[in-house]
């Protein structure tokens, strides 16, 4: 089976980018181990690393954030990083060539129930003019990403990775510690009969979103003339993995509540990397108004509405919005 290194080389990734991705994945392997300890993680601690000893009583998302920060800062490849868990940009090596944005543990409520969680990250070039503590360098649209990935901690630990030459799926071989290519060049079916949305928020959605989802719910008796199934994992990483593997549409729309006027999901840590993975698999990813990867952020913690997945289904959903204008 092909190893990660060979696939990255085949995709034309630069050596330093390959080394950075491998460094990030070393951190994810440690997180995978911690996560697999479940409730014991806070009791037994880690046998793998000294650098976060004494912090094992903390919640897994805080521990995961620290593991990634420590690993990246020591690597020398990263000038600065931004994390969902950090209020400010974290400065690293002034000579680092890359910027990394990450959600260290997405779906953290699932840690309490031994269900799907994951790490999501994206990588950009660091501008040469940039000081390591300058947040303005992160104000780049997703079209500038050089790589994006998630690592899913499930029954097996899996990696979905793109460097702009397709989206590939790897599985962690825990006997040898390497990620092995298990599905190259995923192609999302353009049509689907599965959707993922938190339907409890229905009354807060805009009229076009309510109409679109009502059409899905009406199934064969409605305008779509076919039945749909709904799925919701409470972790975007789990729902998007399902979509990547078998097609589907995932939505976290804006809604009328003040705290959700731009949706719930963060552009840098969730929407952008997932959009890159979905597009590279032939899908579409939109805010409802524009392509997610073309949104120029105004803040590192900015939220955006998210509609992504199978191309024809996303296009149909977006047509419901344009009908409204
Ligand atoms: P499978 O193992 O055959 O997929 O079935 C799973 C299941 O029986 C339950 O575990 C689950 O609650 C239910 O199907 C989901 O059903 P639905 O497709 O109606 O959501
Ligand atoms: P947490 O990591 O804070 O649990 O958030 C996960 C998440 O941002 C995303 O991964 C899910 O799709 C979404 O929240 C679930 O949101 P609901 O609470 O509306 O189900």
**Residues 197-234: pLDDT tens digits?**
999 999 999 999 999 999 999 999 999 999 999 999 99
Q: Which contiguous run of DSSP H or E holds residue 194?
A: strand 194-196
> What percentage of the chain exceeds 70 in pLDDT?
94
Please tell me whether residue 170 adopts helix, strand or coil conformation.
strand
Q: Which of 62, 64, 107, 205 to mutate to test the pocket of ligand 2 (most atoms within 8 A of CB)?
A: 107
Mean per-residue pLDDT for 180-193? 98
- pTM here? 0.92
**Residues 303-314: pLDDT tens digits?**
999 999 999 999
Q: How far is the CA of 234 from the centre of ligand 1 (A)?
A: 17
Judged by its nearest atom, the ligand closest to the C-alpha of residue 227 is 1
Chain centroid to Cα 262, Å, comes to 18
Q: Which of 105, 120, 235, 257 to mutate to test the pocket of ligand 2 (most atoms within 8 A of CB)?
A: 235
| Protein residues with CB under 6 Å of any ligand 2 atom | 106-109, 198, 234-236, 252, 264-265
Mean per-residue pLDDT for 31-58? 61
Distances (CA, A) of 278 to 119, 143, 156, 185: 16, 13, 21, 11
Q: CA 123 to CA 149: how far, in whole Å? A: 9
On the 0-12 / 13-18 / 19+ scale of CB atoms within 10 A, 155 is: exposed
Answer yes or no: is pLDDT of 323 > 70. Answer: no
Q: Which residue has the tokens 């020398």?
A: 76
Q: How far is the CA of 44 from the centre of ligand 2 (A)?
A: 28
Q: How far is the CA of 113 from the centre of ligand 1 (A)?
A: 18
């Amino acid at each position: 089976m092909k190893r990660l290194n060979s696939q990255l080389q085949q995709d034309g990734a630069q050596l330093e980018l390959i080394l950075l991705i491998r460094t990030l994945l070393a951190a994810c392997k440690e997180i995978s181990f911690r996560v697999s300890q479940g409730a014991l993680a806070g009791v037994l601690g880690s046998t793998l690393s000294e650098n976060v000893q004494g912090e094992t009583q903390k919640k897994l998302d805080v521990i995961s954030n620290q593991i990634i920060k420590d690993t990246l800062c020591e690597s020398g490849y990263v000038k600065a990083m931004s994390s969902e868990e950090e209020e400010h940009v974290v400065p690293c090596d002034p000579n680092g060539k890359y910027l990394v944005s990450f959600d260290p543990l997405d779906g953290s409520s699932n840690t309490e129930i031994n269900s799907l969680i994951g790490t999501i990250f994206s990588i950009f070039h660091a501008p040469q003019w940039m000081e390591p503590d300058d947040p303005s360098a992160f104000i780049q649209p997703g079209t500038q990403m050089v790589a994006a990935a998630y690592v899913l901690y499930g029954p097996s630990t899996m990696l979905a990775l793109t460097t702009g030459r397709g989206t590939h799926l790897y599985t962690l071989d825990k006997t040898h510690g390497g990620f092995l290519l298990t599905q190259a060049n995923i192609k999302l079916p353009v049509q689907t009969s599965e959707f993922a949305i938190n339907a409890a928020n229905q009354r807060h959605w805009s009229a076009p979103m309510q109409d679109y989802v009502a059409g899905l719910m009406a199934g064969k008796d409605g305008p779509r003339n076919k039945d749909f199934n709904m799925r919701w994992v409470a972790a975007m990483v789990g729902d998007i993995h399902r979509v990547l593997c078998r097609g589907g549409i995932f939505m976290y729309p804006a809604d009328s509540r003040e705290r959700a006027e731009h949706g719930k999901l963060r552009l840098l840590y969730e929407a952008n990397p997932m959009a890159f993975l979905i597009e590279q698999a032939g899908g579409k990813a939109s805010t409802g108004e524009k392509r997610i990867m073309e949104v120029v952020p105004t803040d590192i913690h900015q939220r955006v509405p998210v509609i992504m997945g199978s191309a024809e289904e996303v296009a149909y959903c977006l047509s419901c919005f344009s009908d409204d204008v």
